[in-house]
Amino acid sequence: MKKIKQIYLLSLLMALSALIHSCSFSEGKRDTSYLEEISISELGEGFRNGQFSIKKVTEDYLLRIERLDKNGPKLNSIISINPDAIKIAEALDRELAEGKERGPLHGIPVILKDNIDTKDSMPTTAGALILKHSYVGRDSKIAELLREAGAVILGKSNLSEWANFRGNLSSSGWSGVGGQTRNPYVTDRNPCGSSSGSAVAVSANLCAFAIGTETKGSIVCPSNNNGIVGLKPTVGLVSRTGIIPISFTQDTPGPMTRSVEDAAIVLGALAATDSLDSMTLTSDARFLKDYSSALDAEFLKGKRIGLLTNISGFHFKVDSLMSDVVSFLRGAGAEVVEINYPLGAGVSSASFKVMLYEFKDGLEKYFASLGDNAPVKTIEELIEFNKNDSVELKFFDQQLLEMAAQMGSLEDKEYSEALAFMQKKTREEGVDRIMNEHKLDALMAPTGGPAWKTDLINGDNFLGSSSSFAAISGYPNITVPMGFIAELPVGVSFFGRAWSEDKLLGIAYAFEQGTKQRRAPNYLNSFRFRKRK
């Protein structure tokens, strides 16, 4: 009996200890509010002056993920957590104590979109169940660069499965592995995609910054819907090695942040040549280690910016906000030139054809790179797997996979002609021509409309978008919050010539600093949202 009592008391003590530990991380006992809207520079200064440790910040971001992503409003933006995150943070704390600071990203926690390879204990899935247990054992080039810069990889974010290149009537932010990501402003609204989880994690302050990828709007659209800054670089400025592909011609990773300054800091760590990515080796490429030099609140003075008037009319409240943007830019010393510049007949269909060809080629090369660990070797095998899975085809089809499977090789004349046509129409006869004719420093347009309601039956309900101009040309694009429609944020995009990231950052920064439209989400549900309107 005595022994039973001892066991009982020991069990009680263990349970009490666990409860105390749990309570110490509860909302009332461990305050993480200091992380809300904190910048990369503020975190770095806090590490240097001893205000907080890298380990503490890492723990507190993980705690916010537990509270907001897994519990609370259940944003569902994170697919996997890096089990080594705390250990990495401790090592970086020791380096800093020894006077070894790697740079502005030393100790800064980041979330990577889950189509980006990492060599740690997290799989790289693209949200697809076929890759749920795909541990690649290697870093993508950008993961390697982030580690070298001292960033702490916290985890990987949910995304539109296969970066939204799978089927019809899909819901952005849904994947077979991760389910549906939710918008933090109004939780039954859609986060857009395909970099859905990355945008939500940044907006909800679950990390200091995130990395997304874009082929045709997948950074700028979720940035628009979630009220953050999203930068799609010139294709070739940042390596794609180790990223599950859609299009060799249009794919690029890029920073997703709460401020333009943070985007500039992150871009400086990522911009680099890569012998395994020929796009980074082009002769006219321009890499900077510091993109902060143009961050001047007076940068707009004397700039000429082209307003694309044909990207309007899809939402009168968006048009009203754009009118306010134009007024601000003119008041800040910029000249705004109204331009009607449609994308051009046949460009979108040519781009779609190129994506189908390059998706098949790139995805099968990625499967081959997995060696004996590859669960499938061809798109046809992937299609068959999905047909036999109870989750993958529950909500929408796989028509894009099936169309890609019918494509030939990149040696086909049909492919080369479509590629040449779309690049000519969007580059020398497109962005370059219109900017030269009007002597412009940048073009601008609304990034999109307010977030629509998530609908797993009917799919996405896009009202408008300007992403195609920069996406198809492969040129840079940055979106910045420009205001709210009720409780839903919308953004304005500035885009321009290849390798003009520094100029676009300068324009975006001056607009951001003069308007201050970013605000943190309130995690409203539909009922509370209707009462606020």
Report d(CA 201, CA 35) in Å as an integer.
13
Q: Which of 77, 80, 170, 194 is catalytic?
A: 194
Q: What is the mean pLDDT of the chain?
A: 94
150: left (phi over 0), alpha (psi -120 to 50) or beta: left
Confidence label for 29 from pLDDT (cuts 50, 70 and 90): confident
Say if residue 269's pLDDT is above 50. Answer: yes
Cβ partners under 8 Å of residue 456, min gap 6 = 171, 174, 180, 395
Q: Is 348 designated active site?
A: no
Say if residue 413's pLDDT is above 50. Answer: yes
Say if residue 312's pLDDT is above 60. Answer: yes
DSSP secondary structure code for residue 371 in this structure = G
Please choose, from the candidates 121, 52, 38, the residue with its C-alpha nearest in 3D space to the C-alpha of residue 80. Answer: 121
pLDDT of residue 7: 34
Tens digits of residue pLDDT in 88-122: 999 999 999 999 999 999 999 999 999 999 999 99
β-bridge mates for residue 212, sequence order: 254
β-bridge mates for residue 213, sequence order: 253
pLDDT of residue 78: 98
Cβ partners under 8 Å of residue 23, min gap 6 = 29
For 213, list phi and psi in degrees, rounded to 5: -135, 150
Per the CATH hierarchy, to which homologous superfamily does domain 33-532 belong? Amidase signature (AS) domain (3.90.1300.10)
Q: Which of 160, 175, 218, 223 is catalytic?
A: 218
Report d(CA 406, CA 359) in Å as an integer.
11
What is the rounded average pLDDT of the residues 474-481?
99
Say if residue 186's pLDDT is above 90. Answer: yes
Q: Is 194 designated active site?
A: yes
Q: Which of 53, 77, 80, 113 is catalytic?
A: 113
pLDDT of residue 15: 37
Confidence label for 526 from pLDDT (cuts 50, 70 and 90): low
Tens digits of residue pLDDT in 221-268: 999 999 999 999 999 999 999 999 999 999 999 999 999 999 999 999
pLDDT of residue 528: 56
Does this model's pTM top 0.85? My answer is: yes
Say if residue 484's pLDDT is above 60. Answer: yes
Please choose, from the candidates 402, 388, 497, 479, the residue with its C-alpha nearest in 3D space to the C-alpha of residue 441. Answer: 497
pLDDT of residue 532: 55
| Helix pair angle (40-48, 260-270), 10° resolution | 80
pLDDT of residue 525: 87
What is the rounded average pLDDT of the residues 183-202?
98
DSSP string, 138-180: S--HHHHHHHHTT-EEEEEE--SHHHH-S-SSPPTTEETTTEE
* Residues 460 and 171 sit within 8 Å (Cβ to Cβ): yes
Confidence label for 11 from pLDDT (cuts 50, 70 and 90): very low
Q: How many residues does the chain have?
A: 533
Which 3 state secondary structure label does DSSP give 63? Answer: helix
Write out the two tokens for 428.
């020398």
What is the rounded average pLDDT of the residues 26-46?
89
Cβ partners under 8 Å of residue 358, min gap 6 = 245, 246, 247, 248, 249, 410
Which 3 state secondary structure label does DSSP give 495? Answer: strand
Residue with tokens 């240097």: 48
Prior bond of 22 cis (ω within 30°)? no
Which of 27-36, 103-112, 387-396, 464-473 is predicted with the least confidence, judged by mean pLDDT?
Answer: 27-36
